[in-house]
Amino acid sequence: MSASELTAAQRAPVYLHDYRAPAWSVRNVALEFDLDAAQTEVLAELELQQDPAQADAALFLHGEALELLEISLDGCELSPADYQLDANGLTVPHARGNVRLRTRVRIAPELNTALQGLYLSGSHEAGFLLTQCEAEGFRRITFFTDRPDVLARYSVMLRADRARYPVLLANGNPDGAGELPDGRHWARWLDPHPKPSYLFALVAGKLEHIEDHYRTSEGRDVCLRIYAEANAIAQCDHAMRSLKHSMRWDEEKFGRAYDLDVFNIVATHDFTMGAMENKGLNIFNAKYLLANMQTSTDADFAHVEAVVAHEYFHNWTGNRVTCRDWFQLSLKEGLTVYREQEFCADMGSRSLKRIEDVQTLWRAQFAEDAGPLAHAVRPEHYLEINNFYTATIYEKGAEIVRMLAVALGRDGFRRGMDLYFARHDGQAATVEDFLAALGDANKTDLSNYLSWYRQAGTPRLSANGRYDAATRTYHLQLSQQVASILLAADNSPLPIPVALSLYLPNGDAVPLRLAGEVAASGIERVFVLDRDSMTLVFEDVFAPPVPSLLRGYSAPVLPQFDVSADDLALLLRADSDGCNRWMAAQALMTRLFDADVNDATTLVAMNDGLAAAMDDATLDPALLAQLLSLPADSILAERLAEIDPDVVHARIGALEKNIAMVLHARVLARYDALSADETGAVEARAPARRRLKNRCLDLLCSRNDAAGIVRALNQFENARCMTDSLAALVCLVRAGGEPAEHALAAFHARHADDALVLDKWFAVQAARPHADTLDTVQALTERADFRWNNPNKVYALFMTLARNLHAFHRADGAGYAYFGACVQRLDAINPQVAARLAASFKEWRRYEPHRRALMQSELQRLIELPTLSPDLRDILQRALA
Ligand code: PHE
Ligand code: ZN
């Protein structure tokens, strides 16, 4: 009987407090694959060991959608009476102690549209086979104790038709290859490092590769290869460079060297997520691996560098030290995102990188934390783990690590990390282990940071200052308020590291001396607020200062600072921390949004501040571009008691037009100068200049002036790189009409056979701020170059649509109805993709009553469908709860 024939049971929640060590572990695994897209057979030999403390636990192995062909225990074939099969796996009740279990199963990769387990990328004739196992995909390949705290050594034999599958890859080091009769061949791989099953991977197919070498600090010569389909192999060099930089950086910053003889990366167009850190065999969504100036934007180049680094860094934070259970997911993801962020900061501009990361956090994570899908960085329970690969686990998790690093200082954090690796190498660890290692290495107790992992919601930080001219003292009161949604749970005060400086009206920073200290120490200091409130008293302050708080955004809190518009203008002009200059500009813009752009003092402060920034020839052009950018729509929308997309749109439009008008002459001159200098280069300062140039173009086009549109057309026609041509296309499409149609057609003709560029072409149209965009999206799905079973295509259209205030949130509800129908359709193809899209409804309760009702009824319709994946059901249930 096949497990897939059994009806799937409704899932029960999994609880952190139910954790028990595995009753059965696997020491060694030998796998043999007879690979074929239609039918693959998998032979598995497991050396199993029972935990003596759990002597009566039956042997249970996870397995889903596997057709069992053969099973034997210690060499004896089992009859169906000796085991039980259900939709979740296989139980062998009489197994005891140390046993060897052998199973042979059959799976059907080409029918696997969920892209978990073994699947086919590309067409039946020309595609290749690959796996995705995190979090629970390995159980779709063979029967196994598929949980991250079971670490085993793998030996993998791959057999396949040589012509169809010339390249055969798996984890670890190659261990022989050869010919077989009937045009088949084999390759064996041996991974010496014990690993959890979610890190298993194999790839088989017709792929080209580029090769390079890296010599580790320990003297190991590592062969680096990046594999891609032939038409993309020319676009892998940037990824290879990024890989080598990452390897060097992890040695220099964390003393971590690579530990195998080969490191392979494979690009695929069919991938639900960004990329995957399988041991020695990373698999990437092509979107985050391929880069080329003609087809990728500067932002794409930066993403490739970041994701290559991220997956590489997982080799230590995730693979060598893995997670005890999936509740600890942020232990590897938050820590690795932090490491990735620091790497990118070192490779480029630190303050700019910080600004981008804060933008992402505010846009994605704060919104998540404020709605019904809010969850702790370490949740206490889940229904479907696939739905926990969220901004909270990744981005807020990284912020917690950053706070620890800020609080411990550079050397203290490094000492802590060294101890973490020394203690837990080869283990499956917990968040508590991490905090203990960081604390012990610094002879301090960091266990109060556990609250950051346990509390959902964004805490608020308020600051009130009082200057006493007579004593030349400045009293700064800092206090925190936990997010209201969690008053029931752990609401103990959080440790909040506040990096701060004080600025005098002339722009000088004050040397900081607290009352009671003998001497000032520096102009920037970190104070950890670990109570509800505290007051800092600074002495020798010769004029009323402006506090510059949370420098470098030192904690993921919502700032509620009592500072005037003029104070913000001072910070915007004079703060030595680029991130805080940007936060000051954002604060001014947010105030104006709140005031419906009707607050003369703030307007003057902002306009003067931005004008001064534009006149400052020494300012990094990329930072200037950020200073000139409004907060994301979604962040501003959150300011309203009830979100009305029409109000959001009107206020943002007014703000944007004000900036465009007031700065018009400067913007025009700057655009023309930058545009005359454009070379289309990859390296050095060019991306920063392009960023400013394209923000200027954006402003020039915001009022549909001929001056702007002519420049956009000209830039589109003469662009030397994708960054410029895409930026111009966005402006033209927003303006609409014949020039937009013409540009879209030209763009398509130019890039018709490049899937990743076509994704941009789809996305630009789905982003057009107009109610009719809904019809456009619908029409685009009918095209031959749109594929419902390709996540990148689906995201390009539907993730973009979900962010479109005009189309998704159409007042007649057509956006919600159409989107819901598409989610339903996708659920039958790829439940993870459907669940991710459905999360777009998460803020429904925040909307004005009319739209709120429309969204609710669409969610209700979906949840009542007779067949729903566990992934989608989980999101719908939580959204409606
Ligand atoms: N672990 C991957 C990463 O962050 C993300 C991922 C999760 C990929 C689940 C696939 C499936 O690097
Ligand atoms: Zn990761």
- How far is the C-alpha of 411 from the C-alpha of 409, rounded, in Å? 6
Determine if ligand 1 sits within 6 Å of the CB of residue 827.
no
User: Among the atoms of ligand 1, which is closest to the Cα of residue 337?
Assistant: 4
The string of DSSP codes covering 564-588 is: -HHHHHHHHHH-S-HHHHHHHHHHH
CB 561 within 8 A of CB 533: no
* Identity of residue 48: L
- How far is the C-alpha of 183 from the C-alpha of 250, rounded, in Å? 43
Give the dihedral sign, CA 549/550/552/556.
negative
User: What percent of the chain has pLDDT above 70?
Assistant: 98
Out of 389, 392, 395, give the residue to mutate to test ligand 1, the one with the largest number of ligand atoms within 8 Å of its CB.
389
- Helices 645-662 and 664-677 pack at an angle, to 10 degrees, of 80
CB 183 within 8 A of CB 217: no
CA 274 / ligand 1 centre spacing (Å): 7
pLDDT at residue 679, as a whole number:
82
CA 134 / ligand 1 centre spacing (Å): 7
User: 414 to each of 311, 438, 751, how far by Cα in Å?
Assistant: 20, 9, 46
pLDDT at residue 6, as a whole number:
32
Determine if ligand 1 sits within 6 Å of the CB of residue 340.
no
Determine if ligand 1 sits within 6 Å of the CB of residue 36.
no
pLDDT band at 780 (very low <50, low <70, confident <90, very high): very high
Copy the structure tokens of residue 51: 């935990």
As a whole number, the mean pLDDT across the chain is 96
Determine if ligand 1 sits within 6 Å of the CB of residue 310.
yes
Determine if ligand 1 sits within 6 Å of the CB of residue 132.
yes
Assigned architecture for domain 321-454: Orthogonal Bundle (1.10)
pLDDT digits (tens, 9 = 90+) for 665-724: 999 999 999 999 888 776 678 999 999 999 999 999 999 899 999 999 999 999 999 999
Please state which of the four CATH numbers 2.60.40.1180, 2.60.40.1840, 3.40.50.12710, 3.30.420.10 is assigned to the domain occupying 460-562: 2.60.40.1840
Residue 3 confidence (pLDDT) above 50: no
pLDDT at residue 489, as a whole number:
59
**Beta strand pairing status for 533-538 and 473-481?**
antiparallel
Q: With 0-12 CB in 10 A as exposed, 13-18 as middle and 19+ as buried, what is 522?
A: exposed
pLDDT at residue 683, as a whole number:
67
- How far is the C-alpha of 87 from the C-alpha of 278, rounded, in Å? 26
pLDDT digits (tens, 9 = 90+) for 531-565: 999 999 999 999 999 999 999 999 999 999 989 99
pLDDT band at 486 (very low <50, low <70, confident <90, very high): low
CA 412 / ligand 1 centre spacing (Å): 29
CB 9 within 8 A of CB 88: yes
Ligand with the closest atom to the CA of 115:
1
Q: What is the DSSP letter of 508?
A: P
CB 219 within 8 A of CB 228: no
CB 225 within 8 A of CB 210: yes
pLDDT band at 7 (very low <50, low <70, confident <90, very high): very low
- Which residue has the CA at smallest separation from atom 2 of ligand 1? 276
Determine if ligand 1 sits within 6 Å of the CB of residue 395.
no
- How far is the C-alpha of 451 from the C-alpha of 482, rounded, in Å? 11
SS (H, E, C) 347-392: HCCHHHHHHHHHHHHHHHHHHHHCCCCCCCCCCCEECCHHHHCCHH
CB 293 within 8 A of CB 682: yes
pLDDT at residue 684, as a whole number:
74
Residue 487 confidence (pLDDT) above 60: no
Going from N- to C-terminal start, the domains of the chain cover 321-454, 460-562, 752-881
CA 232 / ligand 2 centre spacing (Å): 24
Residue 152 confidence (pLDDT) above 60: yes
Mean pLDDT in residue range 642-663: 98
pLDDT digits (tens, 9 = 90+) for 860-876: 999 999 999 999 999 99
Determine if ligand 1 sits within 6 Å of the CB of residue 333.
yes
Copy the structure tokens of residue 651: 């206020």
- How far is the C-alpha of 282 from the C-alpha of 201, rounded, in Å? 8
- Please give the CATH superfamily to which domain 752-881 belongs: Peptidase M1, alanyl aminopeptidase, C-terminal domain (1.25.50.10)
- How far is the C-alpha of 512 from the C-alpha of 534, rounded, in Å? 17
Determine if ligand 1 sits within 6 Å of the CB of residue 311.
yes
pLDDT at residue 482, as a whole number:
86
Determine if ligand 1 sits within 6 Å of the CB of residue 277.
yes
Residue 434 confidence (pLDDT) above 60: yes
For the chain, the distance separating the N- and C-terminal CA atoms, rounded to the nearest angstrom, is 38
CA 399 / ligand 2 centre spacing (Å): 15
- Which residue has the CA at smallest separation from atom 9 of ligand 1? 134
- Which residue has the CA at smallest separation from atom 11 of ligand 1? 134
- How far is the C-alpha of 433 from the C-alpha of 429, rounded, in Å? 6
What residues flank ion ligand 2 with Cβ within 5 A?
Answer: 333, 336
Ligand with the closest atom to the CA of 326:
1
User: Among the atoms of ligand 1, which is closest to the Cα of residue 311?
Assistant: 12
CA 314 / ligand 2 centre spacing (Å): 7
Residue 66 confidence (pLDDT) above 60: yes
Give residues with Cβ within 8 angstroms of 571, minimum separation 6: 503, 546, 548, 580, 581, 583, 584
pLDDT at residue 485, as a whole number:
58
* Identity of residue 411: D
The string of DSSP codes covering 758-810 is: HHHHHHHHHH-SSTTHHHHHHHHHTSTT--TT-HHHHIIIIIHHHT-TTTTT-
- Which residue has the CA at smallest separation from atom 1 of ligand 1? 276
Mean pLDDT in residue range 815-831: 98
CA 343 / ligand 2 centre spacing (Å): 14
- The pTM of the full predicted model, rounded to 2 decimals, is 0.98
Determine if ligand 1 sits within 6 Å of the CB of residue 458.
no
Residue 9 confidence (pLDDT) above 70: no
pLDDT band at 10 (very low <50, low <70, confident <90, very high): low
CB 87 within 8 A of CB 64: yes
CB 196 within 8 A of CB 178: no
CB 687 within 8 A of CB 694: no
CA 318 / ligand 1 centre spacing (Å): 11
- Helices 706-718 and 722-735 pack at an angle, to 10 degrees, of 140
For residue 25, give the 3-state DSSP assignment: strand
pLDDT at residue 8, as a whole number:
41
- Which residue has the CA at smallest separation from atom 7 of ligand 1? 134
Determine if ligand 1 sits within 6 Å of the CB of residue 567.
no
Mean pLDDT in residue range 207-212: 98
- Helices 600-615 and 664-677 pack at an angle, to 10 degrees, of 30
pLDDT band at 201 (very low <50, low <70, confident <90, very high): very high
pLDDT digits (tens, 9 = 90+) for 79-111: 999 999 999 999 999 999 999 999 999 999 999
Task: Could you list the beta-strand ranges (E) of 544-640.
Answer: 546-548, 558-561
Least Cα distance to 550 among 508, 503, 496, 507 occurs for 496
pLDDT at residue 492, as a whole number:
85
User: Among the atoms of ligand 1, which is closest to the Cα of residue 318?
Assistant: 1
Residues that are catalytic: 311
Copy the structure tokens of residue 860: 């209700």
- ipTM > 0.85, yes or no: yes
- Which residue has the CA at smallest separation from atom 5 of ligand 1? 276
